[in-house]
Structure 1
């Protein structure tokens, strides 16, 4: 059994609602904070680096499915120094996360048994993923779980 954890970025892994509205380059302002060229601060949720590291050590495949301008979101992941923690990153400028997750599943399709978990803060996106991909365990961050930090408990069971 291969577990795959798929994470949204905006308001899920970091506090900013739309990284695409920021202006790179990003500069580090401490452990979990970056700043864009206009001084807008973006904070990584405090648990994220440790959680991703522990999940990776457990063999869980870590992925991103994000509705953003790819270059900006990738630059932010690099500025936070977490881009290399992910096994596969899908960032596209549209809200169809079910399509992005299908790409992720296809990427790992050589593995016979996949268990896919998806974490996002947008209720409509979570609803669409649940409807389109019923085998994916989709969780609303801020609804089904309080914060993304709770994802770790679910994934290491």
Structure 2
């Protein structure tokens, strides 16, 4: 299974990490701060979820509309970058195109063709899902904050 995670508002509480000013420094286990003092909080249990997903053999990717360098520095500051097999972070809103090219890359690199029904897309907003369904197919969508309030709630949904 491919698990695609949005970052802003999903993995962390900030809604536009690209507007911040790295370098980031870690101020607590779940909090980083940019060089102007803006704080970003990692959602509780994200690490537990990512560890479960890796241990379960899932392919994990980001699927984020952001500036790559800023988002990557935040992932590194939180020390969660290594959990992801792929970092798909691009400065445009077309997540369907990001996912399309990722699926081609996975097929070329791993020889694995991932079907839409084997993709789980997790985002705090549903604004991209229509284009993904139209151009990729019926991926499973979990809306963070609506369908689940905590990353630990996702594990039984994907284990069933």
Q: 1:147 to 1:97 in 2, by over 3 A?
A: farther
Q: 1:132 to 1:146 in 2, by over 3 A?
A: farther
Task: For residue 112 of structure 1, report the CA deviation from its aligned partner.
Answer: 4.2
SS at match of 1:95: coil
TM-score by length of 2: 0.89
Aligned positions of 1:80-99 closer than 5 A: 80-99=78-97
1-side partners of 2:99 and 2:132: how far apart? 8
Count of residue pairs the alignment pairs up: 155
Match of 2:30 in 1: 32
CA root-mean-square deviation: 1.5
Structure 2 gaps of 5+ residues are: none
Which of 113, 116, 131 is residue 128 of structure 1 equivalent to?
A: 131
Structure 1 gaps of 5+ residues are: none
SS at match of 2:32: strand
2-side partners of 1:135 and 1:72: how far apart? 31
Aligned positions of 1:138-149 closer than 5 A: 138-149=141-152
* Contact map agreement 1:24 1:75 (CA 8 A) in 2: yes
Runs of 4+ in 1 over 4 A off after TM superposition: none
